[in-house]
């Protein structure tokens, strides 16, 4: 678009159906509400390396699409004015998110924060996005459990 009509801001949010990704969608929806941005909800899938043939009746793309749709529908029920598009990408999550964020103003990802050893605060996808993102990246940590 021209300088007189700037492109609307886009916030990309990663969705995998987990509670931390729901928190990320919620955070992104609040930000979109405040800024007038639209959301681009992204999920990815890939065949496990150990599978050489597609098992009968398995459609990972369709299952991923269903999880994406259910998650977005659930969370955005509280944000009816937010414009959202949904994208399912074949490939590893980190690169898929970065590809979808190439024209975004912000990338939002969830992180469970449960690493195998202390000091590793981000999950591998969140860390990949922070290190390689084409735009600012927000990592939404899962809420701490009550003690």
Q: Where are the domains of the chain?
A: 10-47+57-141
pLDDT for 1 equals 47
Residue 122 sits at φ, ψ, to 5 deg, of -115, 150
Cα–Cα distance for residue pair 17/88, rounded to 1 Å? 13
Residues 59-101 pLDDT 10s: 888 999 999 999 999 999 999 999 999 999 999 999 999 999 9
pTM: 0.84
**14: closest CA among 88, 140, 135, 110?**
110
Long-range contacts of 55-61 (CB under 8 A, 24+ apart): 61/88, 61/90
CB atoms within 10 A of CB 131: 10
The CATH superfamily label for domain 10-47+57-141 reads HUPs (3.40.50.620)
């Amino acid at each position: 678009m021209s300088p007189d009509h700037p492109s609307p801001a886009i916030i990309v949010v990663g969705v995998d159906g987990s509670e931390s990704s729901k928190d990320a969608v919620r955070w992104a929806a609040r930000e979109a509400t405040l800024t007038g941005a639209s959301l681009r909800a992204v999920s990815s899938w890939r065949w496990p390396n150990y599978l050489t043939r597609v098992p009968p009746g398995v459609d990972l793309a369709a299952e991923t699409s269903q999880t994406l749709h259910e998650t977005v529908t659930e969370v955005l029920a509280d944000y009816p004015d937010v414009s959202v598009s949904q994208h399912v990408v074949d490939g590893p999550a980190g690169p898929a998110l970065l590809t979808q964020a190439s024209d975004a103003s912000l990338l939002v990802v969830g992180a469970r924060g449960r690493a195998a050893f202390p000091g590793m605060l981000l999950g591998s996808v969140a860390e990949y996005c922070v290190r390689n993102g084409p735009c600012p990246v927000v990592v939404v940590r899962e809420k701490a459990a009550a003690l």
